[in-house]
Structures are given as structure tokens and as C-alpha cells.
Amino acid sequence: MWKEEHKTLTRTFKFKNFSKAFSFMTQVAIEAEKLNHHPNWSNEYNVVIINLSTHDAGNIITNKDRELAQAIDDLLEDAG
């Protein structure tokens, strides 16, 4: 579940292994390009942390962030 913290939408994802985490990041990158809105994220082995805020709006949460968060959630639902 996404959390609103410090004017940022944040979520931590944990996967079975690094390959699954990297595959997820690749899928997120494709969605981010489609929306022309890119996350701040980190990856360590099987954990991916994503932070979303809109820099050109003053680093606050906007509809762009909510739209990308939903697209990311949809990727997880599609993966089953």
C-alpha cells in the first residue's frame, strides 16, 4: 500500500529474488516513460523502494504521481 510521507508517495516492494525485482523495475520504467513521469527509487537485492513526487510542482504529490502509482499497482495485479 502506498503511504503519503513528507509530500511523497512511498511504497516498498519485496520480491522472491533479484531477477524478479529487476524485471519489475523494467516494467515500471516502461510505464514511467509512457506517462513521462519518473520515480525516485532504490533497489537492494530483492527490495525496491519507490518514492513519487512531482519536482516541477515543488516536490509535492500531484495527479501525475497518483497515476503512476496506479499503473505500478496494475503491473502487480497483472502479474497475479
Q: For residue 55, what is the domain's CATH number? A: 3.30.1360.20
Q: Is 68 exposed, middle or buried (0-12, 13-18, 19+ CB in 10 A)?
A: buried
Q: Which domain holds residue 69?
A: 3-79
Measured over all CA atoms, what is the biggest interatomic distance in the chain, rounded to whole angstroms? 36
For residue 80, pLDDT beyond 60: no
For residue 31, pLDDT beyond 70: yes
Give the count of domains, the chain: 1
Residue 71 vs residues 23, 37, 44, 77, 80: alpha-carbon distances, Å = 15, 11, 22, 10, 15
Residues near 16 by Cβ (< 8 Å), separated by ≥ 6? Answer: 46
Confidence category of residue 20, pLDDT binned at 50, 70, 90: very high
In this prediction the pTM is 0.91
